[in-house]
Amino acid sequence: MKTFFKSMIAVLLLFPLGLLGQNAKQTISGYVKDAKNGEGLIGASIFVKELLTGTTTNTYGFYSLTLPKGDYTLVISSVGYRKSIKDLKLADKPLSINVELQEDGQELEEVVVSDSKFALAKEKSGKVITKITAEELKNRPGQSIAAILNTVAGVEINGNQSAGVKT
């Protein structure tokens, strides 16, 4: 009977030690680099799908994540590069995973900048916007820019000292 109680006490005392190892965490770290030139990618994203968490690389392309032991899928991405997906098993030892990302190769053919949104804002605001074209400046020879701007409603130039908006 005494041996039974001693055995139970030993089990109860050692049982919590077994639980400590179940919540252990390990670290995943490494570098994310450009595959073409080997330079570290600043601000690349490392995302852990299963935990909906992640991190970004520092100015050297280095990252580090501490996670509970388990199986994970890392999604590594950066603007202008193809994403990389890595499956890993995080167990008893820290992992070092270095990734080289390939350039995406998609380029914009043309970028058009228009003021249509600005024009819409102008219509909604009810304020008058005056535009002075290069042609108008050519038609006023001998006048300074300050003198020409003084003719625009809402603009006031005080000599060569300051400029402001009339309210």
Contact 77, 99 (CB under 8 A): no
Report the alpha-carbon distance of residue 38 to residue 139 in Å, rounded: 56
3-state DSSP helix/strand/coil % of the chain, to nearest 5: 25, 35, 40
Lowest mean pLDDT among 56-70, 76-90, 106-120: 106-120
CATH homologous superfamily for the domain 24-101: Immunoglobulins (2.60.40.10)
The reported pLDDT for the residue numbered 135 is: 75
Contact 31, 25 (CB under 8 A): no
Domain boundaries, the chain: 24-101, 116-161
The reported pLDDT for the residue numbered 117 is: 62
Residue 2 binned pLDDT confidence (cut-offs 50, 70, 90): low
| HSE-CB of 67 using CA atoms within 13 angstroms | 26
**How big is the CA angle at 157 (ends 151 and 161), to the nearest 5 degrees?**
160
pTM beyond cutoff 0.85 = no
Q: Is 114 helix (H, G, I), strand (E, B) or coil?
A: coil
Mean pLDDT of 48-69: 94
Give 26 or 117, the one with higher predicted confidence. Answer: 26
- Residue 75, pLDDT > 70, answer yes
Report the alpha-carbon distance of residue 153 to residue 148 in Å, rounded: 11
Contact 45, 78 (CB under 8 A): yes
Tokens of 151: 């003719």
Tokens of 18: 């077994």
Residue 125 binned pLDDT confidence (cut-offs 50, 70, 90): low
Give 16 or 106, the one with higher predicted confidence. Answer: 106
The pLDDT tens digits for 142-160 are: 666 667 666 776 666 665 5
